[in-house]
Structure 1
């Protein structure tokens, strides 16, 4: 049977509504055990003014990404101040890379919300600062398929062992993650196997969007979900897209990806949906 969720979803499906994965200090906590896969993780921690959060990175590498607010990341002996941003729609942000096997503290004087995008890895790379001005920003598509991609930790942009992470902002009324595409097989030169997490925020009160994942194989992932701020969709396999934003409400999503093969984003587009794409 396909792994399916429709409508508002459920915590035991692939659409995880806001609050359904809260655990301990985290407003959202998705690890490989909870997702049912082997590599990708995402956590979100909210800090009050003057608040701190500590964690051990274990067998994973992590990116600390401010969703709103500033913080200082202390990873072992490395101190990495982050200017952050007012919110995810305002701009790109600076970020911090935390190696595996590292004790880390996040401290925020004014408070804020911070995403921790993670992936199991083998190499222990150095802790590093990712400056906002160095984040490549790509305008992808046109017309009602136009969206803006912030490739802050794309493969070939920022060095990680296995982790890939990007942000996408889709104007209200537009489609993104389109044409539907997949990356659930290792096909040299054509496709890489990557587990993917979509974390959503919608601009404005009451805003929503829709996310589709359709099966690429018998019994594969099958999702049609209404998504709101704080929701997450897991993509273990399948054709994913489109992501559709409500008119008048821009849509943001953070994509976190990792897999067992080379750190490359190689995808296959759905053959039935490429004609007429702009």
Structure 2
């Protein structure tokens, strides 16, 4: 009988695996490797999934415009890293506002250059100029950093960053904090407009335990993150959170639902 030895996943899928009791009812001993992509994978979710599935787990990162590989997994990569830069590929991190090149452990936009980078968007020179600068660097739109071992970490998309009173808040960091709570099954965070602050972080939460309260969540976040990263936009409980067929969270639909109200 043929058995599954590897599969590709996305963070929401692994979050469900970690918090599901169904896994213990099946024989998954043939599983050797799990790959994860499409969004940043929280460290605690990755470690829990790795332990529960008893297999190797690695993240990948790339984009169509880089056809599509930029990073490759290293044997020493922690589960929250997407690995090291591929051969013949260059990477730099720049400040999302000033464009200044940043150093190790400084968060900014990832830019790449290499033989796999596209020449441009077909018959769309303006979009090409917005994405590839005069020096040939492809601006990925992803926020991340590299550490002292040149391992790369993805934080979020630039367009997803919440601008709160001049501070940049990554929804993925808040979501990772929330799903680590034992009473939370799933969570997604978006920015909601605010005249004074610019944007406020609001969380949509699927409880795992019906006794969970909003006050409990606020206290939990306050104990984990600095004040400007708190859920100043409030919390809304949901029965489920809509996703794409590939498992990506549909923040766009949540924004639309808020705009209608």
TM-score of the pair, normalised by structure 1: 0.27
Which one has a bigger Cα radius of gyration?
A: 2
Query: Which is bigger in relative contact order (C-alpha 8 A, separation at least 6)?
Result: 1
TM-score of the pair, normalised by structure 2: 0.28
